């Protein structure tokens, strides 16, 4: 029908001039040169690596855009149910290499091409005088996230496209991503990450897609004499006090071996063209503009907290801006098919990534009641069938709450609607549990007190049909602790588990091409089908004792370790190893993740101190370095991660790590048998180098605090072994790979409460080992540094040791001892564990995870060519 509206002549011209994807080296080179000379307005004479990166990216983007358009046309024509993934964070990292791996040279019918897109571009770039490696290095990370939650969203959009699911991501286009971390004198210093400095070839600015968003103002009700408790049955009008514009920026998300290219839509804010004439007429031209310009600050910067909610007004503004723009866009698309409102939940599923997008629940109710004039009950039925909510933490300080006063000023009509949602909900609870008034007050969305607060998690649960945790243990914990009352009210069907996953394209194929090709060669899988069907990896098991294969497996690991050494030496300017040929004997022990007390980097560094003190003791007793090595074989402990800028204890932990590193690395008597390194500015592209290089990685959170963890999965996928607590996804990793292949230690989550209680009443004494370590960190001891670390030491010794370092320390040292023994005395045993881990890691592909969401929560199906 649309086609017929276009005049024949025009249609013929369009058909004759169809833009084609490049599918040959020649065609790529032509595109490249085209972009250098026109898009970049440069020439052969000033085409440097940066220009080559931009020209390559633009060329590849052209291919993606053509498939993006086709995918959207296909989806519009079939009009299936779609899912929208709302996340304030998408920690994408670099796009080019990923786009090359996913580059789809298939024809329109989806017939597979035998050409490897990445190789084709590599050749083209090489012909033009560049090295693909150097070109890839030019790209800044899209670091629009803090840590696990944001990276999960990035893995999810990859799997949605790969599985041909009709899904879009919605987020914000921050101009500044997570800050860049500098280490100066051992301290973290934050510097701005202006990632858009050289324009961004991966985004398509949709300047035609503009959505006005309102804030502040007041609510007007025409029928002023209506009864108070009647008000929800009638629509109200919100007279806004401030308006800004949301502009859409689209990032194409290609699937692997698929024609599907999905869309990630990020909103940027800009001023309206409305104008304050009152001010202007007063001759106050300057000021009438200044206020307008403030609009841009809404999407200027990502809040840099991980597992902590700060409660700033601008943050709430970001949230509403994004929720309102996204919902408007979703509804506009729904309205195209002219269906009745009751079919909305049959066409639309919206996933709330944590509570940050919970305002969209309220916004949809407002649109349906105030603007579309649906009765409250009908509207609410649509809302709850549409939304579902993922929880990522049980920690109190990370649960989002907003002061009623602040909220009511920014969003007066939304506050009323929340009161009404709460009123109806509490009524239903009272009806179901007539004699439990305590329950009714406990589950209220409004937390009473001297400053009343809105509990966003409760609102998200009440507004959703499914609530999920991100690993089995975590999903159990939310049902029995923070959301216990809701589990009782709603019964067992509403609370489910979907264990997290990661994309093997980025975390195996892209990060570790060496291991990838060893796998495809061994499995005789030329087309890398195992990256789609990870159960094929189980076939690796039969090589776990094959000497030749062990050697190849080990060679890959050593190669990746040297690449990490190169990175660290480049970043720090210090030589880390003097003899690269001995790297095989050095165990790489890695802990990279956000710095947080609950993740217990402090326990790891205390373990390093313990090792150092023991080595020194042995040397002091006259033992030779060879004798020492029998017990403490060569090892490098790597740390990396950012602290929230306002998190004092986490920053102190970073300083302690660097202080310890300084002493140990400069102690000549150690003869290189132990080193400690802090890798500055940990991010996605560094993770791609760090993770494949690990022999052992640390996932040692206090039991019950890490909801899932996802880097644990990445390390296992790269043949690293884990040392960890019985926490988060470690539990299921152990089940999948076998308990012989992981070093578990420490107390269980069910004992945490009692252990904490014991600390409060001074019933616990610290183990001697830890006492010795802590002594070395205060006063003028080796790591004392003018008593700088006293607060850290005191938090454990005298302030209740909330994260139970003292309860797990000995058990941790025990596990580390076992690690040393196996790595150094029985390397084949170690390699066998490594191979068996990879063989059984398949469950943790985000493809499996997205399929579970699609089938059990969203009720959507793939749309294939």
Closest CA to 455 of 428, 480, 427, 485: 485
**Catalytic site positions:** 392, 593-594, 599, 710, 714
306 or 732: CB nearest ligand F58: 306
Residue-wise DSSP of 256-273: TTSS-EEEEEEEEEEE-S
672 burial (CB, 10 Å; 0-12 / 13-18 / 19+) is: middle
Write down the least CB distance from residue 705 to ligand F58, Å.
8
Residue-wise DSSP of 594-631: ---GGGTHHHHHHHHHHHHHHHHHHHHTT--HHHHHHH
C-alpha 530/C-alpha 516 separation (Å) is: 10
Write down the least CB distance from residue 302 to ligand F58, Å.
9
C-alpha 637/C-alpha 590 separation (Å) is: 6
Nearest residue (beta carbon) to ligand F58: 148
Write down the least CB distance from residue 395 to ligand F58, Å.
8
Write down the least CB distance from residue 597 to ligand F58, Å.
13
Write down the least CB distance from residue 148 to ligand F58, Å.
3
C-alpha 127/C-alpha 106 separation (Å) is: 24
**Beta-strand relationship, 187-191 and 180-184:** antiparallel
Beta strands in 641-687 (DSSP E): 674-679
Place of tokens 């010795």: 772
Is 333:170 a contact under the CB 8 Å cutoff?
no
279 or 315: CB nearest ligand F58: 315
| Structure tokens that stand for 492 in this block | 């067992």
| Structure tokens that stand for 689 in this block | 């180098």
258 or 710: CB nearest ligand F58: 710
Is 433:439 a contact under the CB 8 Å cutoff?
yes
Binding site for ligand F58 (CB under 6 A): 146-149, 152, 305-309, 392-393, 398, 470, 500, 706-710, 728
Write down the least CB distance from residue 413 to ligand F58, Å.
26
List all residues 6 or more positions away from 274 whose beta carbon is below 8 Å from its beta carbon: 243
144 or 634: CB nearest ligand F58: 144
92 or 773: CB nearest ligand F58: 92
Residue-wise DSSP of 367-428: IIIIIS---HHHHHHHHHHHEEEE-----GGGS-EEEHHHHHHH-HHHHHHHHHHHHHHHHH
Distance of CA 80 to the CA centre of its chain: 28
Beta strands in 2-144 (DSSP E): 82-86, 90-93, 142-144
Write down the least CB distance from residue 853 to ligand F58, Å.
13
Beta strands in 141-231 (DSSP E): 142-144, 167-172, 180-184, 187-191, 204-215, 218-220
Place of tokens 């040959």: 24
505 or 593: CB nearest ligand F58: 593
Closest CA to 173 of 315, 39, 349, 300: 300
389: β partners: 352, 467
Determine the 3-state secondary structure of 442 from DSSP.
helix
312 or 760: CB nearest ligand F58: 312
Write down the least CB distance from residue 468 to ligand F58, Å.
10
CA angle, residues 430, 435, 440, in degrees to nearest 5 = 45
145 or 680: CB nearest ligand F58: 145
55 or 498: CB nearest ligand F58: 498
Determine the 3-state secondary structure of 526 from DSSP.
coil
Is 53:136 a contact under the CB 8 Å cutoff?
yes
In b/e form, how buried is each residue of 262-277, taking b as 16+ CB within 10 angstroms? Answer: bbbbbbbbbbeeeeee
Determine the 3-state secondary structure of 687 from DSSP.
helix
């Amino acid at each position: 029908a649309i086609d017929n509206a276009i005049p024949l002549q025009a249609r013929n011209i369009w058909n004759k001039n169809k833009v084609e994807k490049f599918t040959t080296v020649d065609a790529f080179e032509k595109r490249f040169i085209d972009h250098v000379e026109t898009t970049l307005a440069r020439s052969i004479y000033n085409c440097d690596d940066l220009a080559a990166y931009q020209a390559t990216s633009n060329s590849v983007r052209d291919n993606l855009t053509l498939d993006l358009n086709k995918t959207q046309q296909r989806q519009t024509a079939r009009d299936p149910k779609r899912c929208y993934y709302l996340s304030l964070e998408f920690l994408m990292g670099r796009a080019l290499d990923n786009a090359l791996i996913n580059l789809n040279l298939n024809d329109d019918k989806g017939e597979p091409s035998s050409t490897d897109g990445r190789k084709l571009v590599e050749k083209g770039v090489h012909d033009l005088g560049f090295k693909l490696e150097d070109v890839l290095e030019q790209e800044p990370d899209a670091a629009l996230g803090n840590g696990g939650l944001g990276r999960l969203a990035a893995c999810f959009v990859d799997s949605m496209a790969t599985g041909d699911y009709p899904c879009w991501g919605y987020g914000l286009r921050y101009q500044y991503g997570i800050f860049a971390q500098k280490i100066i004198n051992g301290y973290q210093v934050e510097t701005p990450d202006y990632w858009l400095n050289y324009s961004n070839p991966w985004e398509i600015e949709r300047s035609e897609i503009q959505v006005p968003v309102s804030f502040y103002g007041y609510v007007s009700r025409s029928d002023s004499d209506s009864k108070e408790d009647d008000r929800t049955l009638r629509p109200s009008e919100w007279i806004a006090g401030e308006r800004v514009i949301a502009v859409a920026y689209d990032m194409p998300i290609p699937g692997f071996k698929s024609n599907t290219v999905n869309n990630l839509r990020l909103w940027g804010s800009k001023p309206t063209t409305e104008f304050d004439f009152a001010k202007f007429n007063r001759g106050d031209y300057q000021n009438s503009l200044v206020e307008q310009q403030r609009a841009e600050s809404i999407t200027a910067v990502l809040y840099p907290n991980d597992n902590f909610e700060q409660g700033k007004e601008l943050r709430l503004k970001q949230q509403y801006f994004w929720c309102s723009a996204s919902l408007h866009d979703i509804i506009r698309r729904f309205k195209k098919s002219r269906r009745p409102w009751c079919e909305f939940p049959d066409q639309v599923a919206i996933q709330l990534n944590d509570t940050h997008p919970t305002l969209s629940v309220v916004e949809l109710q407002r649109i349906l009641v105030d603007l579309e004039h649906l009765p409250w009950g009908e509207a609410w039925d649509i809302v709850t069938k549409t939304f579902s909510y993922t929880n990522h933490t049980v920690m109190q300080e990370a649960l989002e709450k907003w002061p009623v006063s602040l909220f009511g000023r920014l969003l007066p009509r939304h506050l009323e609607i929340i009161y009404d949602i709460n009123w109806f909900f509490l009524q239903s609870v009272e009806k179901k549990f007539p004699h439990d008034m305590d329950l009714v007050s406990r589950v209220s969305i409004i937390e009473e007190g001297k400053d009343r607060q809105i509990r966003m998690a409760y609102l998200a649960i009440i507004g959703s049909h499914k609530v999920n945790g991100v690993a089995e243990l975590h999903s159990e914990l939310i049902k029995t602790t923070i959301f216990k009352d809701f589990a009782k009210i709603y019964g067992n069907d509403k609370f489910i588990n979907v264990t997290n996953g990661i994309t093997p394209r980025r975390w195996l194929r892209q990060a570790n091409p060496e291991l990838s090709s060893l796998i495809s060669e061994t499995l005789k899988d030329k087309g890398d089908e195992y990256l789609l069907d990870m159960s094929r990896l189980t076939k690796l098991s039969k090589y776990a004792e094959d000497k030749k294969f062990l050697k190849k497996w080990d060679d890959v690991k050593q190669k990746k370790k040297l690449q990490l050494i190169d990175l660290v030496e480049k970043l720090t300017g210090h030589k880390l190893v003097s003899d690269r040929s001995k790297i095989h004997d050095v165990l790489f022990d890695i802990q990279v993740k956000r710095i947080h007390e609950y993740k217990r980097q402090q326990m790891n560094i205390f373990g390093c101190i313990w090792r150092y003190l023991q080595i020194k003791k042995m040397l002091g007793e006259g033992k030779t370095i060879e004798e020492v090595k029998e017990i403490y074989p060569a090892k490098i402990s790597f740390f990396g991660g950012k602290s929230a800028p306002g998190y004092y204890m986490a920053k102190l932990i970073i300083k302690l790590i660097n202080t310890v590193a300084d002493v140990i690395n400069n102690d000549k008597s150690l003869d290189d048998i132990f080193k400690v390194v802090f890798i500055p500015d940990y991010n996605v592209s560094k993770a791609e180098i760090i993770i494949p290089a690990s022999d052992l990685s640390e996932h040692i959170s206090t039991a019950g605090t890490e909801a899932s963890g996802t880097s644990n999965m990445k390390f296992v996928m790269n043949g690293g072994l884990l040392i960890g607590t019985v926490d988060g996804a470690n539990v299921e990793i152990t089940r999948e790979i076998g308990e012989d292949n992981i070093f578990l230690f420490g107390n269980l989550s069910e004992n945490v409460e009692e252990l904490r209680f014991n600390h409060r009443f001074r019933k616990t004494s610290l183990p001697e080992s830890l006492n010795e370590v802590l002594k070395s960190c205060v006063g003028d001891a080796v790591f004392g540094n003018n008593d700088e670390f006293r607060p850290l030491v005191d938090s454990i010794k005298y302030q209740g040791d909330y994260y139970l370092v003292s309860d797990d320390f000995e058990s941790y040292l025990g596990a580390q001892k076992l690690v040393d023994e196996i790595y150094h005395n029985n390397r084949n045993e170690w390699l066998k564990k490594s191979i068996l881990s990879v063989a059984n890691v398949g469950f943790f592909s985000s493809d499996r995870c997205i399929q579970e969401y699609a089938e059990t929560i969203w009720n959507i199906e793939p749309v294939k060519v």
